[in-house]
Amino acid sequence: MSRRVVITGMGAVTPLGHSVEEVWERLLKCESGIGKTTLFDASTFPTQFAAEVHDFDFTACLSPEAVVDQKDAARNSQFMIGAAMQAWKQAALPEKLIDCVSGGKCCNALCDGDAFVPKSDRVGVYLGAGEGPPDFDNSIAPTVAAWIKDENDVDWGIWSKVAFERMDATVELEQEPNIPSARVARLFGLRGPIMSCLTACAASTQAIGEATDLIRANDADIVIAGGTHSMIHPLGTTGFNRLTALSIRNDDYKTSSRPFDQTRDGFVLAEGAGALILEELECAKRRGAKILAEVIGYGSTGDAFRVTDQHEDGRGGARLDIDKIDYISAHGTGTHENDSIETHVIKSVFGDRAYKIPISSVKSMLGHLIAAAGSIEMITCVLAIRDNIVPPTTNLHTPDPQCDLDYVPNEPRKVNVNIAMSNSFGFGGQNNTIIIRQFNG
């Protein structure tokens, strides 16, 4: 019999708030997390706005010892630490896992000897995480300036000297995508599978799905899964601007994210992190954990098409199938290609029933959190099941004739949600879908 996987904790740090409940409340109020870019001077960029996380102090949730240990964490790791700590506490897990040497019923030296806590080597981390934000001002810019004597002449002797002097090894290490996973594992003393993936916008959905598979395969009992990303910097914005993927609606940025609307002109770059505690059902029951939802399906395919585009026919996404779905959390970026192709995929999978399923994109309010997007959207699916209400797609006033499904425009809707599906599609033709349902024992 296959091991069942449930969700016992959730955490979020986003442009709409620093907790799951705050984010949910503001989504249902149709608030926007989009504003003028403040993390760098974007005044000369085609896109001068983003969805930033403001006023977040990740040290507020840490012990003094952990603050010292994590003090050099980069922005993306800070978001992940905050989200993971929320999820860990909601799941009622011990502060830190330390294996007993004496044996007995308890597997953790910090509990009272009667509670059941999995061994640390049975608890893992799997995150979709992008590279950390480069240190332009203190590292890259001064080094580049010293490299170049004139337009056509690079003095490599000066380059190597200044690079060695200027580039802090810790700062450079923090840019590696695996560091958020490593930091979370260190924070809680986890010695199980510690993994990360960077499959662009599909990354955290892939991490959650593959973490589920780890538990089902009996390679772990608990996994902290989710994603984190922070790309609101000159390099990230330039790259997406050159791809013409970002909205350039600088005169109306609050409503610039317009998934499925005929006037959409691109997505809005965002940042943040989402974390979920995935747990084998019997383990959760032995701990007396509150079960929030059950993961019942995960699918992953590839398009084998272009580096940046989905296949026009949605041939990868269309292989993901399910008989009964009450709500779909769409990838819904607000680019012309994504929204029309995703609509086509949903129709090809569900046929005529596609027109009866409520679908929405919270990116209309949150922006696009890139590698963290799927984790936050999965959290909204859990909350939709809990509250029997689905968040809207805001800024949807001029429906695109090619996007003619029920996108829950502009206000939340009461819906009896028993089973929900979340889609994530990434550059390179990455297609990932997770299905969850209300836990019924």
Which residues are marked as active site? 201, 331, 368
Tell me whether strands 359-360 and 327-329 are parallel, antiparallel or unpaired.
parallel
Q: Encoding tokens for residue 423? A: 């889609």
Dist. CA 233–CA 319, nearest whole Å = 36
Question: H-type helices in 49-168, by residue range?
Answer: 64-70, 75-90, 141-147, 156-166
| Contact call for residues 212 and 435 (beta carbons, < 8 A) | no
Annotate 271-288 with DSSP letters as a single string.
EEEEEEEEEEHHHHHHHT
Question: H-type helices in 29-72, by residue range?
Answer: 64-70
CB burial string 239-249: b at 16+ within 10 A, e below:
ebbeeebbbbb
Give the start-end residues of each E strand in 92-146.
123-129
Dist. CA 18–CA 177, nearest whole Å = 22
Dist. CA 116–CA 324, nearest whole Å = 36
Dist. CA 11–CA 273, nearest whole Å = 8
Dist. CA 309–CA 325, nearest whole Å = 27
Query: What are the distances in angstroms from CA 412 to CA 204, 273, 280, 424, 428?
Result: 25, 23, 32, 21, 33
3-state secondary structure of 196: strand
Dist. CA 270–CA 428, nearest whole Å = 20
Q: Encoding tokens for residue 177? A: 């995508």
Give the start-end residues of each E strand in 85-243.
123-129, 148-150, 153-154, 194-197, 222-230
* Beta carbons within 8 Å of 255's beta carbon, 6+ residues apart: 32, 249, 394, 395
227 closest CA partner among 10, 60, 59: 10
- Give the rounded distance of the alpha carbon of 106 from its chain centre: 33
